[in-house]
């Protein structure tokens, strides 16, 4: 497994994990492994690309591209006696959006390429793409004493006074030429055509489909 940082100008930006084995062992399911890696890559600040090689052959390639990022204005109450502004704290009051903290919305594109046949290094790579949005903000913490004691007991560290909270908003598949997307679009309009086409779905699409919380 190799992963690269966002700074492509750095020639030493690759981090590789080489897992040699004297005895052959079953490979993990690359679809399930890809789903895990894609989810793990979502909120990382530095990692942009993950490649998985098996016997020097590229089997899985996941690439994250930040499309845009902008600040969201926090809606304020229309008047001091109305509570119609944005909710800036959690229900328990454990997390509170501090004054002057920016609420940022980021759009990313995840591109997944997966080899169709792991046993055949000459087989083609199939590709699927999904775009997603998430919001993030720096919040202040107010940890109850009993919870703080449990956190310290488990982590051996004091809980942070501030931290970044990230919330996944949505995701949409952008494989315009993917047959599975055509099936989804025609489900409500042409059931007969759906029966003829079947429910064939590429393995790469299974990875990007799992990326969406819906």
Mean pLDDT, rounded, for 46-60: 88
**CA 207, 41, 172, 127 torsion: positive or negative?**
negative
User: Taking a C-beta distance cutoff of 8 angstroms, is the pair 3, 15 a contact?
Assistant: yes
Q: What does the alpha-carbon distance between residue 161 and residue 141 come to, in Å, rounded to a whole number?
A: 5
pLDDT at 209: 81
**Low-confidence winner among 46-50, 71-75, 78-82, 144-148 (lowest mean pLDDT):** 78-82
Q: What is the mean pLDDT of residues 151-177?
A: 81
At 29-50, the pLDDT tens digits run 999 999 998 888 877 778 889 9
Structure confidence by residue, pLDDT tens digits, 169-212:
877 766 544 444 443 434 433 444 444 444 567 888 888 887 65
Question: Half-sphere exposure of residue 207, counting CA atoms within 13 Å on the CB side?
Answer: 30
User: What's the rounded Cα separation, in Å, for the pair 166 and 108?
Assistant: 14
Q: If you average pLDDT over residues 155-172, what whole number do you get?
A: 86
Provide the percentage of residues in the chain whose pLDDT is more than 70: 73
Position 4 pLDDT exceeds 60: no
Q: What is the CA radius of gyration of the chain?
A: 22
The token duo for 108 is 């990313």
What is the structure's pLDDT at 11? 57
Q: pLDDT at position 3, please?
A: 54
Torsion of CA 59, 44, 152, 163, to 10 degrees: -170
What pLDDT is attached to residue 31?
92
Which has the minimum average pLDDT: 1-5, 41-45, 137-141, 201-205? Answer: 1-5
pLDDT at residue 60, rounded to an integer: 94
């Amino acid at each position: 497994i190799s992963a690269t940082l966002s700074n492509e100008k750095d020639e030493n930006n690759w981090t590789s994990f080489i897992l040699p084995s004297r005895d052959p062992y079953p490979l993990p399911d690359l679809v399930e492994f890809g789903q895990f890696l894609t989810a793990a890559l979502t909120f990382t600040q530095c990692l942009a690309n993950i490649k998985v090689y098996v016997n020097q052959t590229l089997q899985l390639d996941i690439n994250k591209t930040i499309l845009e990022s902008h600040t969201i204005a926090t809606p304020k109450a229309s008047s001091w006696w109305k509570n119609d502004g944005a909710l800036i704290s959690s229900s328990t009051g454990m997390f509170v959006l501090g004054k002057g903290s920016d609420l940022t919305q980021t759009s990313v594109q995840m591109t997944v390429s997966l080899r169709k046949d792991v046993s055949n290094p000459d087989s083609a790579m199939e590709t699927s793409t999904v775009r997603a949005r998430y919001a993030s903000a720096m919040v202040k913490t107010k940890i109850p004493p009993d919870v703080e004691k449990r956190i310290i007991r488990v982590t051996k560290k004091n809980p942070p006074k501030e931290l970044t909270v990230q919330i996944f908003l949505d995701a949409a598949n952008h494989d315009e030429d993917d047959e599975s997307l055509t099936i989804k679009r025609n489900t409500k309009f042409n059931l007969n055509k759906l029966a003829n086409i079947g429910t064939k779905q590429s393995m790469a699409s299974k990875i990007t489909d799992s990326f969406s919380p819906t």
